[in-house]
């Protein structure tokens, strides 16, 4: 099952290279992957917990390396997100002027990097799969990007490569910190070791810092976030959807899967630093977002800002906060992908994303207006959307930390700041919505309008799909919490406070 999920996009990419029709092959591959993830999701048995659908191929005896696939609730949720966003990104790809084949191949490889990482139980392949996305990102931004695409492509690639290598050092250090007889990259083995205190506190502190910086660069943790807005602004819309929606979640997934459960003492040690940095994400980047004059840059910064909430859930490290973080990863992935897709559609129609040049679009493209409005509400975290459910869990989880403290604990201050962050994000999102869709039509140049400027009916399907998923999860969070819960009730996590 997982084998199919991991290799279907690769297979589709290979077929496209060999000459089958690019768009249909890609769509078919992504659809098959999505269906397979839904099937896996429904066949997962939460009662049994742990990793299911495990399959393993030995690679190297001397390193005890296996190509090991397996999934629990967290990975299944992420796999579903990746497959769904991939499907929508391919669906949203407009007809291209140059090298269409290469575009779809890059898109599929980008998504497959994330999918492979989410499905891997072996840390080596978990890492390697993520880096699969590196060169496709470079090509996608460089060839089909807009604006300062050359600079952005270099920046994102070098940032991610460096972050990746720092992460690699952390993983090797983790591998080496275990007694020789037990050394392995197998996540399950390492988890058992961690529960029995197999990793020294001293080593934990060092490894956790490396992992935090490595993953932090990939997630755009403040102050390593500067690559993200520029990359998303320059990338073609489908690439931005996948990168902001899915690939960035790899880092968070890594923290949830590797750093927190395996290195609880290290997490404790660096918790204060993490809380300070994530407040930077929420408040500083939030204020920067307010000042943006272009929609794509604003969305890029807002996605950086929302990482702060997920970090808050991670840092709280209790059952409620971690579940909230996982749900928010999913919800944010969907809402940001939808926003980038719609922004791409607006750019295609108007030729600009400068906010002051746009206006009154709601009358000419009502469907885009409605969808953008709903996505805006989701992104702010209005009740009924998945983001709300997640943020509420995170806030309660984080506020509870240090509740027995006299006076205000650091976590409570951070939570209060984060709540104000919600206000900031409401301000910029609603303001953008008003400027773009309300008011008078501005004198902006509208190009490429043949008949109706609104979204073509065939393109409405992925929009409705994404909105439906976030609404279902928002109104009935148990739909994914049902499978997520066992992941976070393992003894490893609960010892962590």
Residue 135 in contact with another protein, rule: CB under 8 A: yes
Reading the block at residue 258, the tokens are 């590797």
Question: How many angstroms separate the CA atoms of 250 and 356, rounded?
Answer: 35
- Minimum CB distance to another protein, residue 280 (Å): 23
Residues between 15 and 74 with contacts to another protein, criterion CB under 8 A? 59-63, 67
Among 14, 28, 169, 426, binds another protein (CB under 8 A): 169
176/447 with CB nearer another protein: 176
Q: How many CA atoms lie within 13 A of 245 on its CB side?
A: 32
124/428 with CB nearer another protein: 124
66/257 with CB nearer another protein: 66
Stretch that binds another protein, among 147-155, 197-205, 432-440, 447-455 (CB under 8 A): 147-155
Among 80, 138, 250, 301, binds another protein (CB under 8 A): 138
Question: How many angstroms separate the CA atoms of 292 and 81, rounded?
Answer: 28
Among 51, 127, 215, 253, binds another protein (CB under 8 A): 127
Contact present, 312 and 418 (Cβ < 8 Å): yes
Residue entry with tokens 């077929």 = 15
Residue 447 in contact with another protein, rule: CB under 8 A: no
Tell me 244's DSSP state. Answer: I
Residue 487 in contact with another protein, rule: CB under 8 A: no
- Minimum CB distance to another protein, residue 479 (Å): 34
74/156 with CB nearer another protein: 156
Stretch that binds another protein, among 159-167, 273-281, 431-439, 455-463 (CB under 8 A): 159-167
Question: How many angstroms separate the CA atoms of 248 and 329, rounded?
Answer: 9
Among 104, 129, 208, 215, binds another protein (CB under 8 A): 129
Reading the block at residue 159, the tokens are 């940032």
16/393 with CB nearer another protein: 16
- The residues that bridge with 122 in the sheet, in sequence order, are 186
Q: Where are the alpha helices (DSSP H) in 196-318?
A: 201-219, 227-234, 237-242, 248-254, 260-262, 264-269, 271-279, 285-290, 295-316
Residue 416 in contact with another protein, rule: CB under 8 A: no
- Minimum CB distance to another protein, residue 62 (Å): 5
Residue 168 in contact with another protein, rule: CB under 8 A: yes
92/127 with CB nearer another protein: 127
162/427 with CB nearer another protein: 162
80/215 with CB nearer another protein: 215
103/488 with CB nearer another protein: 103
Question: How many angstroms separate the CA atoms of 201 and 183, rounded?
Answer: 17
Question: How many angstroms separate the CA atoms of 62 and 474, rounded?
Answer: 47
Question: How many angstroms separate the CA atoms of 297 and 230, rounded?
Answer: 7
Q: What helix, strand, coil percent values describe the chain, rounded to 5?
A: 75, 5, 20
Task: Give the β-pairing of 65-71 and 52-60.
Answer: antiparallel
Burial class (CB in 10 A: 0-12, 13-18, 19+), 80: buried
- Minimum CB distance to another protein, residue 132 (Å): 7
Question: How many angstroms separate the CA atoms of 489 and 319, rounded?
Answer: 7
Residues of this chain that bind another protein (CB under 8 A) = 59-63, 67, 99, 102, 127-129, 131-132, 134-135, 138-139, 142-143, 150, 153-154, 157-158, 161-162, 165-166, 168-169, 172-173, 175-176
């Amino acid at each position: 099952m997982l084998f199919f999920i991991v290799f279907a996009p690769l297979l589709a990419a290979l077929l496209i290279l060999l000459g089958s029709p690019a768009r249909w092959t890609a769509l078919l591959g992504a659809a098959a992957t999505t269906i397979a993830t839904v099937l896996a999701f429904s066949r997962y048995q939460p009662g049994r917990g742990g990793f299911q659908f495990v399959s393993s191929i030995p690679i190297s005896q001397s390193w005890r390396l296996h190509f090991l696939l397996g999934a629990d609730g967290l990975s299944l949720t992420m796999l579903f997100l990746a497959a769904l966003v991939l499907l929508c990104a391919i669906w949203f790809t407009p007809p291209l002027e140059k090298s269409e084949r290469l575009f779809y191949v890059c898109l599929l490889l980008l998504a497959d990097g994330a999918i492979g990482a989410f499905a891997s139980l072996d840390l080596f392949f978990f890492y390697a799969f993520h880096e699969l996305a590196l060169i496709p990102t470079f090509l996608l931004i460089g060839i089909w990007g807009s604006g300062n695409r050359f600079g952005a492509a270099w920046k994102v690639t070098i940032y991610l490569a460096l972050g990746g290598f720092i992460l690699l050092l952390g993983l090797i250090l983790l591998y080496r910190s275990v007694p020789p007889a037990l050394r392995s990259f197998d996540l399950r083995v390492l988890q058992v070791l961690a529960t029995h205190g197999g990793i020294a506190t001293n080593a934990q502190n060092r490894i956790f810092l490396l992992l935090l910086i490595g993953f932090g660069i990939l997630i755009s943790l403040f102050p390593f976030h500067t690559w993200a807005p520029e990359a998303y602004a320059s990338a073609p819309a489908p690439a931005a959807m996948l990168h902001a929606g899915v690939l960035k979640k790899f880092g968070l997934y890594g923290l949830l899967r590797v750093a927190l459960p395996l290195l609880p003492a290290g997490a404790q040690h660096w918790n204060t630093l993490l809380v300070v940095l994530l407040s930077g994400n929420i408040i500083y980047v939030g204020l920067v977002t307010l000042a943006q004059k272009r929609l794509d840059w604003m969305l890029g910064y807002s996605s950086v800002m929302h990482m702060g909430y997920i970090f808050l859930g991670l840092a709280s490290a209790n059952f409620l906060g971690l579940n909230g973080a996982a749900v928010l990863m999913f919800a944010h992935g969907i809402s940001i992908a939808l926003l980038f897709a719609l922004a791409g559609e607006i750019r295609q129609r108007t030729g600009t994303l400068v906010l002051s040049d746009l206006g009154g679009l709601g009358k000419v493209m009502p469907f885009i207006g409605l969808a953008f409005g709903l996505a805006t509400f989701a992104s702010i975290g209005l009740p009924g959307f998945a983001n709300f459910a997640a943020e509420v869990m995170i806030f309660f989880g984080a506020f509870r930390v240090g509740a027995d403290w006299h006076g205000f604990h650091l976590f409570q201050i951070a939570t209060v700041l984060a709540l104000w962050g919600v206000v900031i994000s409401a301000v910029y999102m609603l303001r953008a919505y008003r400027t773009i869709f309300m008011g008078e039509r501005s004198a902006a140049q509208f190009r490429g309008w043949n008949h109706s400027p609104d979204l073509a009916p065939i393109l409405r399907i992925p929009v409705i799909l994404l909105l439906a998923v976030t609404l279902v999860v928002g109104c009935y969070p148990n739909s994914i919490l049902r499978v997520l819960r066992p992941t976070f009730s393992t003894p490893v996590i609960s010892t962590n406070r």
